Amino acid sequence: MSLLPILEWPDPRLAQACAPVAEVTPGLRALAADMLETMYAAPGRGLAGPQVGAMLRIFVMDVTWKEGRPDPQVILNPVIEPLGDAVCTRAEGCLSIPGILTDITRPARVRMRWSDLEGVAHEAVLEDFAAACVQHETDHLDGVVTLMRLAPEARARSEAEYRG
């Protein structure tokens, strides 16, 4: 395993949609392991393929490891469906926009369908931080960074702060 360089905004790859993962190969397994190692070292709770230059619909996450309960997950080809009308606004950080927190409003509860590295299909209902995390990472797979979710004035302020 090895640490991968994390792309930073405004790298154009971060604004591109990713291709579906067609098959699990030894190379994809190695990428997933490297992505987990990179995420933990960053230290983050999620990392998507395009953030390391892999333009595939893959992300890794572990929303509980910082509380001492590691639960690493590799998510392939996620599909997210909002459940209900409730939304939640929280400050989100992004490993590709270091040092910037942005208030992002997202559905508070979602259903996610995905496959794992064994080709097994999964479905789960996620709430709270886990729901925000999977939506944030899926945004990356669609070529969307948090700055793009902001109103124009808020985006301009965040970009000015980021550029320093």
CATH number at residue 65: 3.90.45.10
Number of separate domains in the chain: 1
Residue 33 in domain: yes
pLDDT 10s digits, 39-68? 999 999 999 999 999 999 999 999 999 999
Residue 2 in domain: no
pLDDT of 163 reads 84
Residue 92 in domain: yes
pLDDT of residue 1 exceeding 80, the answer is: no
Query: What residues make up the domain containing 57?
Result: 12-163
Is the CB of residue 6 less than 8 Å from the CB of residue 37?
A: no
pLDDT 10s digits, 121-141? 999 999 999 999 999 999 999
Q: What's the pLDDT band for 3 if we cut at 50, 70, 90?
A: very high
pLDDT of 116 reads 98
SS3 126: strand
- CA torsion sign for 70, 29, 94, 135 is negative
Could you say which of 137, 153, 159, 161 is catalytic? 137
159 catalytic, yes or no?
A: no
pTM for this predicted structure: 0.96
